[in-house]
Amino acid sequence: MSDASGSPSEVDDPIGRLRRQIAVELATPVRPGVRWLADQIRQRHGDGVLGVLFYGSCLRSESDEGVLDFWVVVDDYAQAHTRRSHAWINRVAPPNVYYLERNLDGRVLRTKYGVLDRRAFERGTSFASPHPYVWARFAQPARLVFCRDEAARLFFERTVAEAVVTMVGRLVCFLPAQGRWRRFSLAAFWQEAFRRTYDSERRPEAEESIRDLHRADEDRYALVAACAIPALVSRGTFASAIPHPRSFEVEIPELRQRLQRLRWKIMRPHARALGLLRLLKTAFTFGDWVPYVLWKLERHTGRRIEPTERQRRHPLIFGWPIILPLLFRRNLR
C-alpha cells in the first residue's frame, strides 16, 4: 500500500512512525536547570561527547530536584577521560558512573550519570545486547539535551527507537499464550517488561511502583509498542500480529519462543553479576560520593548526618557505617 506520492504509507512504515515519535520525544524541551547541568557534564568530557540523554524519575516528574539521571555517549573512552584507569574500566565494564554537584542560583543540582561509547550504546539498544541494561532504560521516555550535530541526532533517533523494538521483541514471549498465539493488553505487556528488567538488575520494584511507572505515560507506551509490533513482524521476529484497541494478538513460532525464554534464563545471572561488578567499580569512579550518600540518608531517614573528618578523608575505609544501611535498603542506585 502506498500514498499518492508513491512513498510507503504510515500503515506500511511502522519503524518510520516509531522513529518520528522518538524524534519528537528527544527534542521536547526540559527545565533550564536540567539543560545547564547537562552542559556542565559535557564540558567535563570534552569534544568527544556525541550526546547527553536525560531520563528517569526526574524526567517523569518534570523536576530538577533530587538526583538527575543522564547518560553521556562519547566517541572514544580515552578521549572522554583524563585518567587512563577510568578509560580502561569503562571499556571493560561499561558504563562508568559519576556523581556531580553544582550550584545554580543558590540551589544545589545533583546528578549521577553514565558514560558509554557510541558502539556500546548502539549494541546495547539492539537484539545483539547480551543483557537489558541499555535497552530497558531507553525504551522509556528520554530527552536529548545535548547533541553534537545532525548526524548524531539521527544516530540517537535510530538507536533509541531500536531500544523500544528490542524491549517488545524480547519480552512479549513471557506473556500468557495459547499455543503460538498471545493476546494481551499493552498495559499488561509494559508492566511485565518493567517487572522483568528491574529484577534482572536486582532492583525489584513494588507492584504499585510498576503500575505508576506505566501510568506516568500510558498513551506514549501504547503508541510506541503499537509501532514496534508490526515492525517485528516485518523483520520475521513475530510471525504475525492482529491489532485491537489497546491490545494485540501476536503469533510467535514455537522454536523462537523457547529460544527467547532460554536466552533470558541464561542472561539473568549474567546481568546480575555485571550489576554487582558495576556497583563495586562505582566506588572508584563515582568521585566524591560522600555528599551523595549523606543526602540520600537525610532524604530517606529525615536525619542529617555529619561524617567525621576521618570518614571524609578516607571514605572507602571508614565510611561503611554510612553506606551499608543504604546498600541493604537498595537506595544507592
pLDDT digits (tens, 9 = 90+) for 42-74: 999 999 999 999 999 999 999 888 889 999 999
Q: Hey, what's the cell of 256? A: 523462537
Q: Which of 5-14, 94-103, 148-157, 209-218 has the lowest mean pLDDT?
A: 5-14
* Distance, CA of 247 to CA of 244 (rounded, Å): 5
pLDDT digit string, tens, across residues 109-167: 989 899 999 999 999 999 999 889 999 999 999 999 999 999 999 999 999 999 999 99
CB 35 within 8 A of CB 255: no
SS3 category, 73:
strand
DSSP string, 172-211: GGGS--BTTEEEEEHHHHHHHHHHHHHHHTT----HHHHH
Q: What is the pLDDT, as a whole number, of residue 268?
A: 78
Burial class (CB in 10 A: 0-12, 13-18, 19+), 177: middle
Q: What is the pLDDT, as a whole number, of residue 170?
A: 95
Q: What is the pLDDT, as a whole number, of residue 6?
A: 39
Q: Hey, what's the cell of 132? A: 537489558
CA distances from 73 to 96, 113, 274 (A): 11, 11, 20
pLDDT band at 199 (very low <50, low <70, confident <90, very high): confident
- Single-letter amino acid code for the residue at 213: L
Residue 81 contacts by C-beta under 8 Å, 6 or more apart in sequence? 45, 87, 90, 96, 115
Domain at 14-285: CATH architecture: 2-Layer Sandwich (3.30)
Determine what percent of the chain is predicted with pLDDT higher than 90: 58
* Distance, CA of 302 to CA of 60 (rounded, Å): 24
CB 191 within 8 A of CB 214: yes
Q: What is the pLDDT, as a whole number, of residue 1?
A: 36
Q: Report angle CA 266, 112, 317 to the nearest 5 degrees.
A: 85
Q: What is the pLDDT, as a whole number, of residue 136?
A: 95
Q: Which of 104-108, 246-250, 259-263, 304-308 has the lowest mean pLDDT?
A: 304-308
Q: Between residues 301 and 70, which one has the greater pLDDT?
A: 70
pLDDT band at 309 (very low <50, low <70, confident <90, very high): low
| Domain ranges for the chain | 14-285, 294-328
Determine what percent of the chain is predicted with pLDDT higher than 70: 78
Q: Please, what sign has the CA dihedral across residues 73, 164, 131, 122? A: negative
Q: What is the pLDDT, as a whole number, of residue 289?
A: 56
Sheet holding 181-185, edge to edge: 181-185, 247-251, 240-244
In Å, how far from its chain's centre is CA 304?
31
Residue 11 has pLDDT above 90, yes or no: no
Q: What is the pLDDT, as a whole number, of residue 99?
A: 86
Residue 318 contacts by C-beta under 8 Å, 6 or more apart in sequence? 308, 310, 311
Q: Which of 6-20, 97-111, 236-250 has the lowest mean pLDDT?
A: 6-20
Q: Does residue 130 have a cis bond before it (omega within 30 degrees)?
A: no
* Distance, CA of 321 to CA of 314 (rounded, Å): 13
Residue 149 is classified by DSSP as: S
Q: Which of 84-88, 254-258, 318-322 has the lowest mean pLDDT?
A: 318-322
| Stated pTM of the model | 0.83
- Strand-pair partners of 107: 104
